[in-house]
């Protein structure tokens, strides 16, 4: 689903204009992004949880050359689906 399709679906289900739905979706994504950047978890009961985790630095291998390369430490974003979402998808 593309963002334009999501905007259309949200506008229809919530009785909003497409402009209002776009602003709502943009506000949601910006809020979640800011919370994750601060290191906070974002739990949405019944839907799932957005969170970050630290990945340590490690050595990897370039598959084309076989050369060892250093992979820097980073913060990864993950989403764990909630029970209601899992149940809805596995019908």
> What tens digit of pLDDT does each residue of 22-76 get?
999 999 999 999 999 999 999 999 899 999 999 999 999 999 999 999 999 999 9
Q: Are 27 and 7 in a shared domain?
A: yes
Q: Does residue 91 carry a pLDDT above 90?
A: no
Q: Which residues of 46-85 are buried (b: 16+ CB within 10 A; e: fewer)?
A: eebebbbeeeeeeeeeeeeeeeeeeeeeeeeeeeeebeee
Total domain count for the chain?
2
Same domain, 31 and 46: no
Q: Are residues 27 and 48 in the same domain?
A: no
Task: Please spell the DSSP secondary structure of 49-85, one letter per residue.
Answer: EEEEEEE--EEEE-TTT--EEEE--EEEEEEEE-HHH
- Looking at the predicted structure, is the pLDDT value of residue 7 above 90? yes
- 32 and 55 inside one domain: no
Question: Do 17 and 36 belong to one domain?
Answer: yes
Q: Are residues 52 and 36 in the same domain?
A: no
Is the full-model pTM beyond 0.85? no
Do 89 and 46 sit in the same domain of this protein? yes
Q: Mean pLDDT throughout 8-12?
A: 96
Q: Domain residues for 56? A: 42-91
């Amino acid at each position: 689903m593309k963002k334009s399709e999501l905007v259309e679906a949200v506008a229809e289900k919530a009785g909003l204009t497409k402009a209002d739905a776009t602003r709502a979706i943009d506000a949601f994504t910006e809020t979640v992004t800011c919370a994750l950047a601060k290191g906070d978890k974002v739990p949405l009961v019944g839907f799932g949880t957005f969170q970050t985790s630290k990945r340590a630095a490690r050595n990897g291998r370039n598959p084309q050359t076989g050369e060892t390369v250093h992979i820097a430490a980073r913060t990864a974003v993950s989403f764990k689906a909630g029970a209601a979402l899992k149940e809805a998808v596995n019908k």
